[in-house]
Amino acid sequence: MNTATSSQAYFDYLTQRSLSGLIYRRLFLYPRLSRMLAGRILDYGCGIGDFLFYRKNSSGVDINQHGVDYCKSRGLDVLLVTDGIIPHTESSFDSVILDNVLEHIPPADVDRTLDEIMRVLRPGGTLLVGVPGIKGYAADSDHKCFYTESDVISLLAGYGAIPKKVLHAPFRSQWANRHMSQYCVYIAFKCNLDEAARDT
């Protein structure tokens, strides 16, 4: 399958989300995530724009042109990531969210992606990373790498990011981790801190 075909196929997959899943996100998940974010927000890997539609006046980026075009048709502020570059200037955002995105990125590209995110995130800004549990990871053939909560914390530690809050959704449970495709863990980090700020 070529890149254009796979992009279309994944866009089609995203648009087939269930109504119950959308209701769960709009009424339960997104309000909780929003409380962990502040200021100008970038949704990296925004897909079909569900979070942006919920959190008005936020911006999004994605590598899938079909998704970007769809989001724009909904009146959302979304731009295409080309060659790994986020089309925004340095320190443009107070918060960045990666909601079920990290696991889609080939391991060889993760550092470049995080470098770009740190570039557009202001000093002391918040990075919120959400990854699926075991069942959710297995449910999507586009997933490239499985991350546990500790894996994400270790990865971001290499960027000087400090974990500030952890959220298990819909609730913390090893049973849910193994049996619910909706189960995810979200970790909010403070990023781009200088040495003095890290010690406080």
Three-point CA angle 125, 67, 45, nearest 5°: 25
pLDDT digit string, tens, across residues 5-20: 688 887 777 878 778 8
pTM: 0.91
pLDDT digit string, tens, across residues 122-179: 999 999 999 999 999 999 889 999 999 999 999 999 999 999 999 999 999 999 999 9
